[in-house]
Amino acid sequence: MSGARHRYRRTGPSVRRITALAAIPVLAGALTGGWVFLRGSPAVATCAGTVTLTVAVAPSLADPMEELATAYRDEHPAVFGYCASIQVDAVDSGRAAAYLRGGWSDPGAGEIPDVWVPDSADWLALARTTEPANRLLTDTGQLIATSPVVIAMPRPMAVALGWPGHQLSWADLGKQLAEPGDDDYWAAHGKAAWGGFTIGLPDPRTSTSGLSALTVLVAQALDRPAARLIEKDITDDLTDDLTTDSAILRLERAASLLPGSDASLLATLRGTGLDDPGASRLSAIPLSESLVYQYNAGVGLGARLPDGDGPELVASYPSDGLMLDEIRYVQLSRVSSDPVKSRVAADLLALLRSGRGVAALAGHGFRTVDGAADSLGPETGLAARPQELGRKPVTVPTVMTALQATFVGVHQRTNTLMVLDSSGSMAEPVPASGDRSRLAVALDAAKAALPMFADGSNLGLWRFSSRLHGADDWDELVGLGPVEEQVGGADGADEAGGVPRRQAVIDEMSRIEPRGDTGLYETTLAAFRHLNQHYEEGWPNQVVLLTDGRNSDPGSMSLDELVRTLRREYSPLHPVRIITIGYGEDADLEALARISDATGAQSYPALDPNSIFVVLVGAFTEIPG
């Protein structure tokens, strides 16, 4: 899908612009929760004017909202003498929240709505992080339905694991993310043709299920209940704890599919047969329960999916993080100044809460405000009354924003030059490591982190000590280029029978032998200038430099001269950032901090050499400021 709002069509009335005459609640009926439509009459046929109420809804809610809007049209009422219509637009909730944070001024956002119905109250909390959004969102919203996020699986795969008796948990999913690469997972269950256990992840910037999965899996990595992440402001803990970066990095890299929307993910599923040898099968997908229902029943989003042989989905209700998302009907502040729109908005809310409205929502897989869903059962792949179904606590938006920002940093492909210290001090043993050298520990950590570079990123490798090539203190081991590109060796040239650049970097690391002094300053400037010459527009361009010592090249420039040169040559329009890692207690942390600061980057201390893996993860996933 594109970055703009998404409108769905089907045979019959259009969701893009549904013109429906609004209804007037009879006062007594409205007060008692009832609803009475006024039939059309010659007096009503002539209107003093027209008014349109625009409603932006999550795509999964578009059809029931259309159904209820059609009820207005069929009854032919008027409001205060005006012919009223309702326009329903399907907009991904995360995208709508982003539009609202900017005051709905994005050129691709279209007309600002009068009412917003996201598929989780999380998006309402996230939207309210800017002043423009707070001016528009003065209403806290009225609860109209609920829906939990579940772990969906193709029915045959779930049955092979013991479903419905066995319910997949978030911990099970986390284990698969931590131990990827088993291409024969399903062979152990008698289904070798299915290959490995693969996970799909909807984009957490736009999808409720993607954001929920991100939250729960990060909470598990931090060994905390998911509720503690979203009900208490622990933003500093998230941004300072590199375990968070590592967990999100594994999630993003291990996910076989990262579509831009839930609809794209479901369309992929519908077009994929489990026994198709060329198919990209998905074993598990975090999804809102309502989407599982719509996919299976062929309603809502399910009705708009392409034809295909995709398997039926069933839901696991994870006992370690099952929470009801609240769906709220939110009137924007502009409605209150228009009495006609205010009445239409109130009427639509009353209809949503009426028996007709509850039935329309239930017919698309949504639970009542109390979490009831008696129509769901094993035959639908769902459970009417799952255990441990609690209400999600109030979201702290800064926590969600921090998680999303880290995901953006991880998801972004980078242009990265790794520069490793290979001076003699790197041969010193590391305590509690089995007498392995500093270099060996660092290389093992780098090798473990390198597979997390996604295809499409650029990567290169230098080492440095002193006088490696004449007066030069550095040596290019693998030239900068795409990580998946086949290369033949240290010169980085393409060669038949070569290996992917990612593997070439690992191979060259294994051949490094520590010797010589530390030519830190000259190498830093050379790497900075090299990346400027190989700059990639629109990507983070970064030198990641690791050293365990301090500059010991007597003929090199001074630190002050290096910092002045970096500041003079640094371009905000084409920023190349130098991320430094001070490795061990002998590293010159003050000098490294000044080097990084000159290019607006972070310097990471790794005083305990055994912690170098999480430090490398933090450096690789740093988000440009």
Q: What is the mean pLDDT of the chain?
A: 81
* pLDDT (0 to 100) of residue 475: 93
List the single range of 62-71, 220-229, 386-395, 532-541 with lowest mean pLDDT: 220-229
According to the model, what pLDDT value does residue 39 have? Answer: 32
Residue 36 confidence (pLDDT) above 90: no
As for how many domains the chain has, the answer is: 3
Predicted confidence at residue 171, as pLDDT, reads 87
Q: What is the pLDDT of residue 478?
A: 94
What integer pLDDT is reported at residue 43 of this predicted model?
39
Residues 498 and 610 in one domain: yes
From 324, 341, 358, the end of a domain falls on 324
What average pLDDT does this structure show over 235-256?
A: 64
The predicted model gives 200-221 an average pLDDT of 85
Mean pLDDT of 405-419: 79
User: What's the pLDDT score for residue 108?
Assistant: 80
Say yes or no to pLDDT of 37 above 80. Answer: no
DSSP sequence for 194-248? G-S--EE---TTT-HHHHHHHHHHHHHHTTS-HHHHHHS--HHHHHH-HHHHHHH
User: 198: closest CA among 157, 149, 160, 163?
Assistant: 157
| 520 and 567 inside one domain | yes
Domain end among 324, 350, 373:
324
Mean pLDDT for the stretch of residues 444-450: 75
Tell me whether residue 171 is in a domain: yes
Same domain, 178 and 287: yes
The stretch 341-350 carries a mean pLDDT of: 94
Average pLDDT of 62-90? 86
Task: Say whether both 350 and 207 belong to one domain.
Answer: no
Say what angle helices 208-221 and 170-178 make with each other, to 10 degrees: 70
The per-residue pLDDT for range 299-334, each reduced to its tens digit, is 998 888 877 777 899 999 998 888 889 999 999 999
* Residue 518 counted as domain residue: yes
- How confident is the model at residue 353, as a pLDDT? 94
In a domain? residue 12? no
119 pLDDT higher than 60: yes
Name the one residue in this structure whose structure tokens are 């190349």: 576
pLDDT tops 80 at residue 426: yes
pLDDT in tens, 131-186: 999 999 998 899 999 999 999 999 999 999 999 999 999 888 888 876 655 677 88
What angle, rounded to 10 degrees, do the helices at 242-254 and 612-620 form?
70
pLDDT cut 70: percent of the chain above it: 79
Over pLDDT 90: what percentage of the chain?
A: 39
**What CA–CA distance (Å, rounded) separates 168 from 57?**
30
Residues 360 and 283 in one domain: no
Neighbours of 605 (CB within 10 A): 17
CATH of the domain at 520: 3.40.50.410
Exposed e or buried b for every residue in 373-405, given b needs 16+ CB within 10 A?
A: beebeeebbbbeebeebeebeebbbbbbbbbbe
**Is 8 within the bounds of a domain?**
no
> Domain check: are 130 and 155 in the same one?
no
The verdict on 225 and 341 lying in the same domain is no
Judge if 517 and 431 occupy the same domain.
Answer: yes
Average pLDDT over residues 28-49: 43
Query: Is residue 394 situated within a structural domain?
Result: no
DSSP-H helix ranges across 255-354: 262-270, 289-297, 333-336, 339-353
pLDDT category at 524 given cuts 50, 70, 90 is: very high
**What count of other Cβ atoms lies within 10 Å of the Cβ of residue 217?**
24
Average pLDDT over residues 329-356: 93
Q: Torsion over CA of 604, 447, 551 and 623, rounded to 10 degrees?
A: -30
Asked if residue 20 is part of any domain, the answer here is no
Q: Which two tokens stand for residue 140?
A: 């806290």
Band (228; pLDDT cuts 50, 70, 90): low
Nearest to 598 by CA among 570, 556, 559, 618: 570
Q: Does the pLDDT value for residue 359 go beyond 60? A: yes
Looking at 324, 339, 374, the residue that finishes a domain is: 324
pLDDT at residue 366 tops 50? yes
Shared domain for 527 and 611, answered yes or no, is yes
Kindly report which listed range (22-26, 114-118, 262-266, 452-456) carries the lowest average pLDDT score: 22-26
Shared-domain flag, residues 342 and 255? no
Q: Which residues contact 473 (CB under 8 A, 6 or more apart)?
A: 464, 465, 466, 467, 519, 522, 523, 553, 556
In this predicted structure, the answer to whether residue 345 has a pLDDT above a threshold of 90 is yes
Map 177-203 to HEC letters: HHCCCCCCHHHHHCCHHHCCCCEECCC
Q: Is residue 304 a part of any domain in this protein?
A: yes
What per-residue confidence (pLDDT) applies to 480? 94
The mean pLDDT value for 344-368 works out to 94
Together in a domain, 266 and 238: yes
> Quick one: pLDDT at residue 595?
95
Mean pLDDT computed over 358-384: 92
CATH code at position 85: 3.40.190.10
**What is the residue range of 437's domain?**
412-620
Token pair, residue 203, equals: 């984009």
Confirm whether 605 is domain-assigned: yes
Same domain, 270 and 304: yes
Does the structure show a pLDDT above 70 at 229?
Answer: no
